[in-house]
Amino acid sequence: MCRTAENTEKTEKKIVWITGAQGSLGTQIRAVIDRDKYEVLPTDREVDVTDRETAAAFALEHRPQVVINCAGIQPDTGSREEKIEMYRVNALGARNLAMASARVGAKIIQISTDDVFAGDVSMELTEFDPTIPTTDYGKSKLAGEKFVESLNPKHLIVRSSWVYGLTGKNFLTYILKMAEDTQILSVPNDQISTPTSALELARFIIQMMDSEKCGTYHASCEGSCSRYGFAHAILDNTGITSMQLVPVLTSSKEMKARYTVLQNLMMELEGSYRMPDWRSALKECLQNR
Ligand SMILES: NC(=O)c1ccc[n+]([C@@H]2O[C@H](COP(=O)([O-])OP(=O)(O)OC[C@H]3O[C@@H](n4cnc5c(N)ncnc54)[C@H](OP(=O)(O)O)[C@@H]3O)[C@@H](O)[C@H]2O)c1
């Protein structure tokens, strides 16, 4: 991806640096952001956020007013190498961007996750509940949050859950891919959270970009379901009948049965924004397929 702005005109537009811009969320932010108001600098792997000097030099050269950190590594193989890379990107990458943004006076928006919670109680989780991550992914994301909080006072931490879109590696694209050549798929029905459309999350983030607000916000769609329920809704909305879903209990070493439904309490307290129900957001997303 290019390191120059996606807009060519030189105006008084606010400069927004999006890292991890090729991913599910970064793609949606780029798709819906108003180009008349913002000059967008999208970067991905070619501006490695784990390299402190690279991040600092990019910020000094381009002087963004906002940095949206969508760069992240999510668990896949569970290998030791992946674990190291996860901490490097999710924790140190966030630290480097927090320092780089603070140096040029930019606000940083850090994207985080429901995995910062243990998920061992069937209770909605607010921004004021204690964070107790139990997975390396959750621990690395919480470390990223802490670096951002302590290194740049102009920060927003936006926690979401089960983010999906039509591009990138996410649960929606996984189910659609599996449906191409699998007839029976086992999906856990003891992991409960809320599918959140990357498009809806992008809309919230863009709305928050210009505000003076700082702190931590939960931003998941409304409602909840199991992974099995989510997979079922994808098949129902796409009319796919060739694959049968089987509900199972979670059996991996790293992941246990979990309940991580986020309550968007800060939005409620401020009366500022309301996320849509997950089913209607999924329908809208699949209509664009
Ligand atoms: N997906 C979810 O369920 C979910 C839920 C809550 C929060 N989040 C967080 O939201 C953020 C965006 O999620 P997403 O679903 O859009 O993730 P994604 O699709 O995996 O996108 C992340 C992007 O970051 C890039 N990246 C990885 N390492 C990098 C590095 N060292 N320097 C620069 N870029 C790098 C990735 O490149 P490669 O593809 O080459 O690795 C990818 O393009 C992440 O921080 C994630 O932790 C995600």
Instruction: Give the residue extent of every domain in the chain.
Output: 14-168+196-222+260-277
Q: Yes or no: is domain 14-168+196-222+260-277 CATH 3.40.50.720?
A: yes
Protein residue with its CA nearest to atom 41 in ligand 1: 73
The CA R_g of the chain, rounded to the nearest whole Å, is: 19
Give the residue, out of 28, 69, 113, 205, with the most ligand 1 atoms within 8 A of its beta carbon, to mutate for a pocket test.
113
Going 97 to 102 to 108 to 111, the CA torsion angle's sign is: positive
* Residue range 242-256: mean pLDDT, rounded: 85
Residue nearest to atom 2 of ligand 1 (CA): 163
In eight-state DSSP terms, residue 266 is: H
pLDDT on residue 131: 98
Query: What pLDDT, on the 0 to 100 scale, is given for residue 283?
Result: 98
69 CA: nearest ligand 1 atom: 45
pLDDT per residue as tens digits for the range 129-161: 999 999 999 999 999 999 999 999 999 999 999
For residue 25, pLDDT over 80 is answered with yes
Q: Is the pLDDT of residue 1 over 60?
A: no
Q: What's the Cα-to-Cα distance from 47 to each of 21, 42, 130, 201, rounded to whole Å?
A: 11, 10, 33, 24
- Give pLDDT tens digits for 163-210: 999 998 999 999 999 999 999 999 999 999 999 999 999 999 999 998
What is the 73 CA–ligand 1 centroid distance (Å)?
Answer: 5
Q: How many other CB atoms are there within 10 angstroms of residue 272's CB atom?
A: 14
pLDDT attached to residue 200: 98
Of all protein residues, the one whose alpha carbon is nearest to atom 44 of ligand 1 is: 72
How is residue 11 written in tokens?
A: 């105006």
The residues carrying an active-site annotation are 137
Distances (CA, A) of 76 to 44, 83, 234, 235: 19, 10, 21, 23
Treating both helix axes as pointing N-terminal to C-terminal, what angle do 171-181 and 227-238 enclose, rounded to 10 degrees? Answer: 60
Q: To the nearest whole number, what is the mean pLDDT of the chain?
A: 95
pTM: 0.95
pLDDT confidence bin for 256, thresholds 50/70/90:
confident
Per-residue model confidence (pLDDT) at position 2: 46
Question: What residues are in contact with ligand 1 under a 6 Å CB criterion?
Answer: 19-20, 22-26, 44-45, 48-50, 70-74, 89, 93, 111-113, 141, 160-163, 168-170
What average pLDDT score do residues 16-39 get?
97
